[in-house]
Chains A and B, each alone.
Chain A
Amino acid sequence: NAGVTQTPKFRVLKTGQSMTLLCAQDMNHEYMYWYRQDPGMGLRLIHYSVGEGTTAKGEVPDGYNVSRLKKQNFLLGLESAAPSQTSVYFCASSYDANTEGIFGEGSRLTVL
């Protein structure tokens, strides 16, 4: 039972490049979330999903897109990376709306 797995763990991009972060959970959770963590600011919600085929905006959605084509996967995309998107990205999932989230180990992204 792997829990929440994020790939890749590390990535360096040049400004303007695109990439996709994959979050996979094997716990049959309905809800999935993408957060970013920046120094001195805690974690901030980017986008989330309340079930397969659904997505919604969080606190800081600009510059990101997401998709939830399969229940177990939640993808976070950067179409044109900017240095301001240098951050550590965390995915989380929860069984339902009243269960605490389980987080992945994080993906460190650097945009040069």
Chain B
Amino acid sequence: DQQVKQNSPSLSVQEGRISILNCDYTNSMFDYFLWYKKYPAEGPTFLISISSIKDKNEDGRFTVFLNKSAKHLSLHIVPSQPGDSAVYFCAASFSGNTGKLIFGQGTTLQVKP
């Protein structure tokens, strides 16, 4: 049973536009959420996170929104750049062991010049 789901396997956007990546989860006990970015032949790298006590966290071009009632989070990238083309993984965990992650399937983002 997939506790964290990314229902869009791929997304294509034009450079300069907004990219919105979505993630749903089923376990209401998750209280910490993360986004990782992965380039081919490399390991995932941490991008941004959000605690369940917040509904928004921003870091430069990246913003994560959390809707606890809908068990949904999204990652917004504005403006999108070709270098953002990668696989994005949503992950959930429990505070107290934020490295013990439940990952979604990933969404491949392509940003076209």
Contacts and interface: CB of A to CB of B under 8 A. Distances in A.
Interface of A: 4, 31, 33, 35, 40-45, 48, 50, 58-59, 90, 92-94, 97-106
B89 A42 contact: yes
Nearest to B47: A100
B43 A104 contact: yes
Which 8 A/B pairs are nearest by Cβ-Cβ distance? Answer: A103-B43, A42-B103, A101-B99, A94-B99, A100-B46, A43-B103, A42-B105, A103-B44
A102 B99 CA distance: 9
A105 B45 CA distance: 10
A58 B100 contact: yes
Interface string B66-77: 000000000000
Contacts of B106: 42
Interface of B: 4, 6, 34, 36, 41-46, 49, 89, 91, 95-106
Contacts of A94: 98-99
Given A42-B105, A42-B106, A100-B49, A105 B42 contact: yes
14 contacts: A31-B99, A40-B105, A42-B4, A43-B44, A43-B103, A45-B100, A58-B100, A90-B43, A94-B99, A97-B99, A98-B96, A100-B99, A101-B99, A101-B101
A44 B34 CA distance: 15
Given A33-B99, A45-B102, A101-B98, 19 more contacts: A31-B97, A33-B100, A41-B105, A42-B4, A42-B103, A42-B104, A45-B101, A92-B99, A93-B99, A97-B98, A98-B96, A100-B34, A100-B49, A100-B98, A101-B99, A103-B44, A104-B43, A105-B42, A106-B42
Nearest to B45: A103
Contacts of B46: 100-102
Nearest to B97: A97
Listed residue (B44, B91, B102) with the most chain A CB atoms within 10 angstroms of its CB: B44
A45 to B, nearest CB: 6
